[in-house]
Amino acid sequence: MQKASETVQKFQDQFGRKPRALVAMSGGVDSSAAASLLVDQGYDVVGATMQVWDYSQCDVTEGNGTCCSSLDVDDARSVADHLGIPFYVLNCEAKFKHAVIEPFLKAYLEGQTPLPCVNCNTYLKFDHLIRKMKELECDYLATGHYAQILAGHDGRPAIFTSTDDWKDQTYFLFTIDPEVVPKLLFPIGHMKKPDVRIYCEEKGLVTAKKKDSTGICFVGDMGYGKFIESQVSPEILKAKSGLIKRYPSGLVMGPHTGIHHFTIGQGKGLGLTHHEKLFVLKVDLQDNTVWVGDEEYLYSKDVEVIEPQFLSTVEDGEVLGVKIRYQQKSSQAQVHRTATGLRLEFLEKQRAVTPGQAAVFYREKQLVGGGWITL
């Protein structure tokens, strides 16, 4: 792929104008750098922030590890003003609640550990903003994701991992429509996080030293359990209480107040006084039993995946690199098609395979697809 400045010149030669890019500005340092870099490279840049969540609804300090709160919107506007670019605020609260919050709550109450960032990307950033991009007659949509658009194995634009292995966010991008990929820009994908901050400081952007958003933005530091309890009626939560049992003996270890407090592999906060180290192995939805046991039972080789989506052709039986959680190196697995989706056969056992999380596929550094881990 050509460098961005060369792309701008080629576009200008072909169409007689600069390429126009809509930048999703969350009010953080990464998206601020993305907008500034595109201005530097000669793009006609437009900024847009999605206001997705009313932080007054819950005990979360906005601007402190959040995303797209009113303070974040103000920061994004300040950066846009500094860069001299048009700026729009899009009220997406209703769509965010329907597409992200409600599935998040539903998944936890069904014994899963959801991945709301993927839904946010699927239904807002790379759906709602794509439509806004077209409405504003922009040629590209840019975000502050740590990812790269490079020539794939077939020569067409494809998503590749970023230069910063620790910050790489391609794990959250597997649901993007392949037809949209040529219209995407990830301006900071070739940079490491410290360099992004240095760049923003040099440019005098107010977000240069701003704290990164961590975890799930709308949960903040209140924790999943408290957030869920703030959104779900006590009657529904009470119906999700049950017993903690020891695997494989079935010994009752004690009661619990709701399956939403547990995730596969969890070893702390179990509410037990047992002297051995025990881990959550499984959540049984039939009677809300949480099964705990020794760590050896956490490992498995076969993983079932539903609703697979592909950005590139994958052959049945092909061996790919697969990540089953965000901050994990990929492991080799053979991908088999089934009547309900896919079965992944890992070459080495994987720890704490968790329903509700994603299994994301890579061919070397190229993102080729993914799906949802199921029970």
Neighbours of 214 (CB within 10 A): 12
Neighbours of 55 (CB within 10 A): 20
What does the angle CA 161 – CA 167 – CA 171 come to, to the nearest 5 degrees? Answer: 50
- List the alpha helices (DSSP H) in the chain: 4-15, 29-40, 70-83, 93-96, 102-109, 116-120, 128-135, 193-202, 224-231, 234-238
Please, are residues 367 and 359 in contact by the beta-carbon 8 Å criterion?
no
Distance from C-alpha of 235 to C-alpha of 222, rounded to nearest angstrom: 21
117 is catalytic: no
120 is catalytic: yes
The two beta strands, 147-151 and 184-185, are unpaired
Distance from C-alpha of 130 to C-alpha of 84, rounded to nearest angstrom: 23
Distance from C-alpha of 252 to C-alpha of 99, rounded to nearest angstrom: 38
What does the angle CA 28 – CA 138 – CA 169 come to, to the nearest 5 degrees? Answer: 40
**What's the token pair of residue 132?**
């806004």
Catalytic: which of 117, 120, 138, 200?
120
Distance from C-alpha of 253 to C-alpha of 279, rounded to nearest angstrom: 13
Amino acid at 127: D
Query: Which residues are tagged catalytic?
Result: 120, 217
